[in-house]
Structure 1
Amino acid sequence: MSATRTFLMELHCEEIPARFLTPLWENFVHLLEDKLEAWFPTGDSANYRKNAIDNSTGLYSPRKLAWRLVGLPAVQPDQTETQVGPPQRMCVGEDGKPTIQGLKFAEKWGMDFSAVRFEQPAGKKEPCAVVTLTKQGRPTVDLLAEALPGLIAGLHVPKAMRWGNSEFEFVRPIRNILCLFGDQVVPITVDGVTATNTTWGHRLYHREHPAPVVIATPGVYESALETAGVAVSVEARRTRIAQQLETLAAEVKGRVVADAELLDTLAEIVEFPKIVRGDFPADFLELPKEVLVTSLREHQKSFCIEGPDGALLPCFLTAANRTDDPAGFVKAGNEWVLKARLYDARFFFAEDRKHPLSDRLEKLMALTFQRELGSYHDKTGRVVALVKHFASRMSDDTDHIDRALEAARMAKCDLRTLMVGEFPELQGIMGGEYLRHEGAHEEVWMAVKEHYRPVGADDAIPGTPLGCLLSLCDKLDTVAGCFAVGLIPSGSKDPLALRRAGQGIVRILWERGWAFPPADLIAAALRVVGAKATKPTAETNEALMDFFRDRVAYQLELAGYAGSVRRSALAAGWEDLVDLKARCEALSAFAEDTRFASLAQSAKRIGNILKDEAPSTDFDDSLLAQPVEKVLAACLMKLELAPDQASLLHALANLAGPLEAFFNAVMVKCEDPALRAARLSLLHRLRQAFLRVADFSLWQ
C-alpha cells in the first residue's frame, strides 16, 4: 500500500467577482478528478482518489482560489497491460523456432521472444502470442507538475482577460501560487508566477507583517491564514456571519430578516467577516417593508432587523472586511450612504403616489413585452380575458369576478413607476402597495402584490385564491404566447424562464386543488393569443402538452414521491392533477407492500397477452371453466366497485395471489374461441381497473 500525502494549491489573485468563485472552484475539482481517474484507476489508489475528492471543501475568498485533497498516493501503482499478437502457428515454425513474424512481435514491444507466451484470448479461435507489459508508476508530484498549468489554463473563465504583454487569460491577474504535495513544493509556473510554499494574508495584516505567510504543510493552511486575517473557507465565513447576525439582532430585541442569497453573497465578498450594526432615521419606516429590505439588500448588501411583531426596526446589519471597526468608520460610512439611498426611495414613493396607478395603464402601450406578442398593454388584455374565463368557471359571484378583472387590469401598471424602475425586483409588490394606499379592495391589492409568485422552487404560491388565479393566468399567457411564436425552451436553454413559469402554474393547480386540465388551460390561452401566433395551432398545442407533462412529472419529484410511484401514476394519466395527487398519495401508502412486486409482474404479463388483441369489455363469466378464473372474476367485481383510491389499492394488493394462481393454471389463448374471448375480456377489464390508479407494469 502506497504512502499518502495531502495536495494543496492556492491561486492568490486580485479581487475576483463573487459570482465567479464557486463555478471556478467546482470546475477545477472536476478537471482534477478526471486526471486522478487516469492516474489511479484501480485498487487502493482508486479509493484514495475517491476519498480525496469527497473530502475536498470550498476554500475560496475574494482573492483566493484554493484546493486541498487529502490522502493522495505518493506514487502511481505499476500498471500492466496485455498485448495480443498473431496466432501461435504464425509465430513458431514446425521446428519449434520463432518465425520472423514472431520475432518482430516481440521486438515491437521491446521484449525477447522468450517473454512471449501463447494463450487463447477471449474472442479468438486459436492460441495467439501474448505479452504482458509493466509500466512503472510515476511519483504523483511529477504528474501534478505536468498537469496543473494546463488545468489552470483550461478553467472556464467568464469574461477572461489578459494583462500587459501576456497571452495568458484568466479572471483576474494571478499574483502568487502556493502549491504543495505534503511538504514538497510542486514546481509549476503559470503566467510567469512560480509556485512556492508561501501565500499572503489580509492587506491590513501585512502592514505590520510585510513578509509572506509560510505554509510548511497543507495541514496548517487554514490556521496560518486565520492568523493572517483571512478565513479561507467559505463555509466558515458563512457560519460566522450567521452567528454574528443573530447575536447583534438579539441585542436590540429583534431578529434578522432571512435572506439566504444575501448571506451567500456576504460570505463570498469578504475575507474576514465582521458584522457591524448601524442605524437609520425611524421616519423611513413609513416606507413599505419590501422597499426598505430591497434597498438595503441591493445597495448596501445589508440585512434588516424586524421585531417580534414582524415590523422593521430602524437598524441594519452589514459585513466589514476586517476584524474590527475601532474608529467606527465602517458603521458611519454605511449609515451615510444608506441614508442617501433611503431618501431616494422615499422620493420615488411620494412621486409615484401623486397619480393613481390606473393612469399608467395606457402607458403600458410603450413598453414591449415581446416583439411578436406586443406590448404589456396587449398582454394585460390577454390576461384580463383569461381571468374572466376562469373566474367565471370558479364562481358566479359578479362582485368577485369584477375584483378579479380589476386586479388583472392593474397587475402590470407598476412597471411604469419610478420605484420599479429603480428596483425591478419590486414589480407587482409596489403595484399592490400603491393600490392599498388608494383604498382598493383587499382582494385586489393583495392579488396584484403577489401575482408574480412563486418566483422559484422554494417560493410559496400566492396566499389568496385571487392571487393564485391572477398568477396562473399571467404565467399561462407568457408560456402559451411564447410557444405560439416559436420561443420554446430546448436543452438547458430557457432565456425567458418558461420552465419556471410552467412549474408555477402546475404548483398552483397542485396546491390549490383546482380541476383545470392543462388541455383546457392551453386552449383558452391560445384562443386569446389569436392572430399573434406564428406557429400552427396543432403543433403549438402538442408542444405545450409535452411541456406541461414534464412540469407535472417534476412536480411529483418535488413532492418527494418514490420513482416507482411517479412512473406508474403518470402512465395511468396526468392531466387531472387532483386525481393524480390522490393516486400518488394512495400509492405511497402502499409502496412498501411486497405484494405489489408480484402485481407488477402480472401487469406486464397481462400487457404482453393483450398485445395485438382487441378484447371486448363484456364477457360471460359462466363461460369460465376453472375455479381460479372464477375467483379472479369475483375479485374483478370488488375492484370495479371500490369507492376510492385506498380501497382500490387494498383490493389490488389482495389480487396478487389470485392472479399468480390464474397464470399458473390457465392457458388464456386456448382453442375454444368463446372461452378464449371470455378470458381475454377478463384480463382487459382487470387492466382497466389497474389503470384507474397506476400502470403497474412500470412499478419497479
Structure 2
Amino acid sequence: MSGAKTFLLELHCEEIPARFLKPLTDEFAMAFSAWAAGQGLVTSGLEIFFSPRKLAWRGAGLPASQPDQTDTQVGPPQRMCVGEDGQPTIQGLKFAEKWGVEFGAVRFEQPAGKKEPCAVVTITKQGRPTADLLAEALPGLIAGLHVPKAMRWGNSEFEFVRPIRNILCLLGDQVVPITVDGVAATSTTWGHRLYHRQHPEPVKIASPEVYEAALEAAGVVAGLEGRRTRIAQQLDQLAAEAGGRVVADAELLDTLAEIVEFPKIVRGEFPADFLELPKEVLVTSLREHQKSFCIEGPDGALLPFFLTAANRTDDPAGFVKAGNEWVLKARLYDARFFFAEDRKHPLSDRLEKLKALTFQRELGSYHDKTGRVVALTKALARRLSTDDEHIDRALEAARMAKCDLRTLMVGEFPELQGVMGGEYLKHEGAHEEVWKAVKEHYRPVGAEDAIPGTPMGCLLSLCDKLDTVAGCFAVGLIPSGSKDPLALRRAGQGLVRILWEQGWPLTLADLVEAALKVVAPKATKPEADTREALLTFFKDRVAYQLELAKYVGSVRRSTMAVGWMDLVDLKLRCENLSLFSEDPRFAILGQSAKRIGNILKDEAPLNDFKAALLVEPAEIDLIQHLHRVETQHDIIVTLNNLAELADPLEAFFNAVMVKCEDPALRATRLSLLHRLRQAFLRVADFSLWQ
C-alpha cells in the first residue's frame, strides 16, 4: 500500500449540550495526534467540526501504511554471551532466541552508559496498514474522552455524553471497520431532521473531501466558523433593513453558532412601549430568555425589533417569528413588572436588607462589605480630592452600590447588578455622579471590558475590588495554580487597570495598607503574612498589565526590578524607555551594568569619593557624563544622558583598573561605580536588559 489518504470520523449523536462540543472535539484531536505520532503516522493535524448532533474530525496526509519500525535491544555483556572458545553461550543463544533472530545477527557494541561491550540486536518490524491500526485504536480513543456528566442508556455499559446513533469512519474511500456501543461504522451519515422528512435514506459520503458539501446539501453546515460567519452576515443585513445596527454580543453569536445546524436569522418585533424599559434590561432579557439580539438606531437607542436564529433553512409560514414574538412579549411583561415593583420603594430602603445576604462566610454580609467599601472610599477620596461635596457623593455611591442585589430585577437577571442600582437612583433624581458610579462600578468585568467612564465610578470600582481581594486574602482564600473560584485575579487585574489608566497618585502599597485596616476585624491570618501575599499578588497583576500594554520583555523586566508599586512612575519609565529600546547603546549599557554589578557584588556601598584622585582621562570623562545624569530630573533627557554613558563606560573599563593596589584610589573608583549604578536604577535595572 502506498500514497497518502484523508481520514474522517463523525459521531452522530442525540443533541449534545453546547458546552461539551468544543472540549470533546479538542480532546480527541489531541489524543489522536499523540497516538498517530506514536505509530509513526505523520499527519498535519485534524480539522474539527461540531454541531448540536455531530462531533467530527478530518485529517489529510495520513499514510496508507505505517512505515517499517526498527528497535534496538541491548542484552548481556559480551563475556557472558561468548565463551573462551568463541562459541555462543546458552545465555547468548537465549538472547537471540528471545528476539527471534539467529545468533549471527547479534553484534557486540558498547552502548552509552555501559562499561563494556554488550550484545545488541536490531529488530525491524514491518509497518501495518493504517486502516488496521485505526480500527484497533479508535474505539479506545472515543471511549477515553472525558465527559463531566457521562451517562449510560438502556443495558449498555458504554458511557458518553449522549447516545451515539451513527458512526461515519473513512480512510480515503474505504470504511474503517469500528464498532462503538453496538454501532458499526459506515460510509453514511444523517443530515437535518427536516431534510429527512422528504429524504428518508442516510446521506452517502463518497470521500472525506466532500463531507462538508454533502452535509450542507442535507441541511447541516458542518463547521462552527461557517455558521458563525453566516449568522453575522444575516444579522447585519436584517438590522440594516430595519434602519439600525446589531447590538454587538460576541458571546451570544458563539452560542447561536453552537446550537443550530443550519443558521437562518429571523427578525421579529415587540411593542414599542417596552422601550421605556432601560436599554440594558431589554438587551439582557432578549439575550437570556430568547437568545436574541437587539437592534439600535444611529443614536444608540433601541428599535422595537429583535433578531434570533431558526435552526432551519427558512420560515415559510412565519411560525418561528410568531412563536418568538409571543414568548418574548410575555418575558418583557415580566421585566416591566419587576421594574415597576422595584421603583415603589427607594433603593436606600434595601440597605438594611443586605444584612440577610451573605457575601462570604467569614467576611460577613453584603451590609458588612458595604461598610468596608465606604471606609475605603472615604480614605482614598480624601487623598484624591479636597471637595467635600464631591467626597460626600462618593460616599453616597459606596453606600448604595450593592442595594440593587435585593431588587426583583437583579434577582431575575444577576447580570444587571450595579446597572439596575444606577437606573433606580437615576429615576429617584440622584446626582449624576452618584448613579453613574453605581451603574458602572462592577467594570471592568474582563480583560476586554473598559474601565468605568467616570472618575467616581473608577474609585468605587477600585474600592469594591480592593475589599474583595484583601478580605479574601485576610481569611486565607488565596488563588493557587489554576484555581481561583472567587475570580480574585480578575478583580485584582481590574483594580490595577484602573490605577494604570487613571494615573492617580496612589501606590499599591498605599492601597494594601488601607485595605488591611478595614478588613482587620474579620481577618483570621497574621497581618504581615496577608500584606506579603497581597504585594506578591499585585506584583503579578502589574507584570501582566505591562504585557497587555505590549512593552517588550527587556523594558518590563528592567523597569519592574527597580520599582513597580507606583504605577504612574512605572508607566512613565516604561513609555519613555520603550522609545529608546532599539537604541544599540542600551545593549552596551546593559553589558556595562552587569559588569558594575559583578564588581560591586561583594562590596559595601561606599561614599568615599575623592574626585582629586581620579586623573585618567577616561574616568574624568565618565564623571562629567555622570554629573549630567545626576542633576537631571526630566526622564527623557535622563535617558538620553544614560545612552551617552555607553561609550565613556566602555572606555573606562578598557583603561582603568578599578580594584587597584592604592586603597584610596580603589575606594574612590568603587564609589564612582556605586553612583553609576544608582543613576541607572533611577530608570531601570539595565543588568536585566537583554
**CA RMSD, Structure 1 to Structure 2 (Å):** 1.7
Counterpart position of 2:413:
423
Counterpart position of 1:200:
190
Counterpart position of 1:507:
497
Q: 1:506, 1:106 → 2: CA distance?
A: 69
Counterpart position of 1:34:
34
Stretch of structure 1 that moved more, 166-175 or 677-686: 677-686
Stretch of structure 1 that moved more, 442-451 or 125-134: 125-134
Q: 2:116, 2:616 → 1: CA distance?
A: 58
Going from structure 1 to structure 2, the CA distance change for 1:107 and 1:673 (only over 3 Å counts) comes to farther
Matched, 1:223 2:213: yes
Counterpart position of 2:74:
84
Structure 1 position 86, deviation (Å): 4.3
Going from structure 1 to structure 2, the CA distance change for 1:234 and 1:128 (only over 3 Å counts) comes to same
Going from structure 1 to structure 2, the CA distance change for 1:628 and 1:117 (only over 3 Å counts) comes to farther
Counterpart position of 1:536:
526
CA offsets 1:542-570 (integer angstroms, 9 cap, x no match): 11011100111111111111122212221
Q: Which amino acid aligns with 1:299?
A: H
Contact 1:388 1:401 in 2 (8 A): yes
Counterpart position of 2:153:
163
Give 3-state SS (helix, strand or coil) of 1:81's partner: strand
Counterpart position of 1:251:
241
Counterpart position of 2:137:
147
Q: Which amino acid aligns with 1:165?
A: N
Structure 1 position 586, deviation (Å): 1.8
Q: 1:588, 1:620 → 2: CA distance?
A: 36
Written as runs of structure 1 = structure 2, the 5 A alignment for 1:101-180 is 101-180=91-170
Q: 2:473, 2:248 → 1: CA distance?
A: 37
Counterpart position of 2:646:
656
Q: 2:572, 2:62 → 1: CA distance?
A: 51
Matched, 1:517 2:503: no
Equivalent of 2:227 in 217, 237, 253 = 237
Q: 1:298, 1:288 → 2: CA distance?
A: 16
Going from structure 1 to structure 2, the CA distance change for 1:120 and 1:653 (only over 3 Å counts) comes to farther
CA offsets 1:257-286 (integer angstroms, 9 cap, x no match): 000000000000000000000000000000
Equivalent of 2:556 in 547, 554, 566 = 566
Counterpart position of 2:15:
15
Give 3-state SS (helix, strand or coil) of 2:123's partner: strand
Going from structure 1 to structure 2, the CA distance change for 1:649 and 1:124 (only over 3 Å counts) comes to farther
Q: 1:129, 1:658 → 2: CA distance?
A: 65
Structure 1 position 478, deviation (Å): 0.6
Q: 2:119, 2:595 → 1: CA distance?
A: 50
Contact 1:77 1:136 in 2 (8 A): yes
Give 3-state SS (helix, strand or coil) of 2:344's partner: coil
Contact 2:147 2:160 in 1 (8 A): yes
Contact 2:384 2:504 in 1 (8 A): no
Counterpart position of 1:668:
658
Going from structure 1 to structure 2, the CA distance change for 1:669 and 1:435 (only over 3 Å counts) comes to same
Count of aligned positions:
690
Going from structure 1 to structure 2, the CA distance change for 1:184 and 1:385 (only over 3 Å counts) comes to same
Stretch of structure 1 that moved more, 586-595 or 410-419: 586-595
Q: 1:116, 1:593 → 2: CA distance?
A: 63
Q: 1:128, 1:347 → 2: CA distance?
A: 87
Contact 2:4 2:62 in 1 (8 A): yes
Equivalent of 2:348 in 332, 337, 358 = 358
Going from structure 1 to structure 2, the CA distance change for 1:239 and 1:91 (only over 3 Å counts) comes to same
Structure 1 position 88, deviation (Å): 4.2
Q: 1:121, 1:674 → 2: CA distance?
A: 61
Q: 1:227, 1:488 → 2: CA distance?
A: 54
CA offsets 1:15-50 (integer angstroms, 9 cap, x no match): 11111111111111111121122122xxxx6xx42x
Q: 2:527, 2:471 → 1: CA distance?
A: 11
Percent identity at matched positions? 81
Q: 1:568, 1:19 → 2: CA distance?
A: 42
Q: Which amino acid aligns with 2:483?
A: K
Going from structure 1 to structure 2, the CA distance change for 1:113 and 1:594 (only over 3 Å counts) comes to farther
Structure 1 position 670, deviation (Å): 2.5
Going from structure 1 to structure 2, the CA distance change for 1:519 and 1:323 (only over 3 Å counts) comes to same
Q: 1:169, 1:316 → 2: CA distance?
A: 40
Matched, 1:304 2:302: no
Q: 2:550, 2:48 → 1: CA distance?
A: 29
Counterpart position of 1:556:
546
Going from structure 1 to structure 2, the CA distance change for 1:576 and 1:344 (only over 3 Å counts) comes to same
Matched, 1:340 2:330: yes
Give 3-state SS (helix, strand or coil) of 2:186's partner: coil
Going from structure 1 to structure 2, the CA distance change for 1:91 and 1:595 (only over 3 Å counts) comes to farther
Contact 1:278 1:331 in 2 (8 A): yes
Q: 2:139, 2:403 → 1: CA distance?
A: 55
Equivalent of 2:260 in 248, 253, 270 = 270
Q: 2:116, 2:593 → 1: CA distance?
A: 48
Q: Which consecutive unaligned segments of at least 5 residues does structure 1 have? A: none
Contact 1:80 1:135 in 2 (8 A): yes
Q: Which amino acid aligns with 1:197?
A: S
Structure 1 position 631, deviation (Å): 2.6
Equivalent of 1:577 in 559, 567, 587 = 567
Equivalent of 1:454 in 434, 437, 444 = 444
Give 3-state SS (helix, strand or coil) of 2:550's partner: coil
Contact 1:58 1:235 in 2 (8 A): no
Q: 2:123, 2:655 → 1: CA distance?
A: 60
Contact 1:382 1:529 in 2 (8 A): yes
Structure 1 position 389, deviation (Å): 0.6
Q: Which amino acid aligns with 2:497?
A: R
Q: 1:108, 1:631 → 2: CA distance?
A: 79
Q: 1:671, 1:83 → 2: CA distance?
A: 64
Equivalent of 1:436 in 422, 426, 430 = 426
Q: 2:288, 2:608 → 1: CA distance?
A: 69
Equivalent of 1:71 in 33, 51, 61 = 61
Q: 1:81, 1:668 → 2: CA distance?
A: 61
Q: 1:634, 1:597 → 2: CA distance?
A: 22
Going from structure 1 to structure 2, the CA distance change for 1:600 and 1:242 (only over 3 Å counts) comes to same
Written as runs of structure 1 = structure 2, the 5 A alignment for 1:387-426 is 387-426=377-416
Structure 1 position 197, deviation (Å): 0.8
Counterpart position of 2:611:
621
Q: 1:135, 1:660 → 2: CA distance?
A: 63
Q: Which amino acid aligns with 2:392?
A: D
Q: Which amino acid aligns with 1:337?
A: V
Q: 1:60, 1:526 → 2: CA distance?
A: 50
Structure 1 position 684, deviation (Å): 1.8
Q: 2:469, 2:510 → 1: CA distance?
A: 14
Matched, 1:608 2:598: yes
Written as runs of structure 1 = structure 2, the 5 A alignment for 1:659-698 is 659-698=649-688
Stretch of structure 1 that moved more, 600-609 or 220-229: 600-609
Matched, 1:590 2:580: yes
Q: 1:459, 1:130 → 2: CA distance?
A: 64
CA offsets 1:422-449 (integer angstroms, 9 cap, x no match): 1110010000001111111100000000
CA offsets 1:159-209 (integer angstroms, 9 cap, x no match): 111111111111111111111111111111111111111110000000000
Q: 2:613, 2:117 → 1: CA distance?
A: 65
Q: 1:510, 1:489 → 2: CA distance?
A: 23
Structure 1 position 69, deviation (Å): 1.1
Structure 1 position 647, deviation (Å): 2.4
Going from structure 1 to structure 2, the CA distance change for 1:621 and 1:57 (only over 3 Å counts) comes to farther
Q: 2:163, 2:644 → 1: CA distance?
A: 70
Structure 1 position 643, deviation (Å): 2.7
Going from structure 1 to structure 2, the CA distance change for 1:570 and 1:271 (only over 3 Å counts) comes to same
Q: Which amino acid aligns with 2:152?
A: R
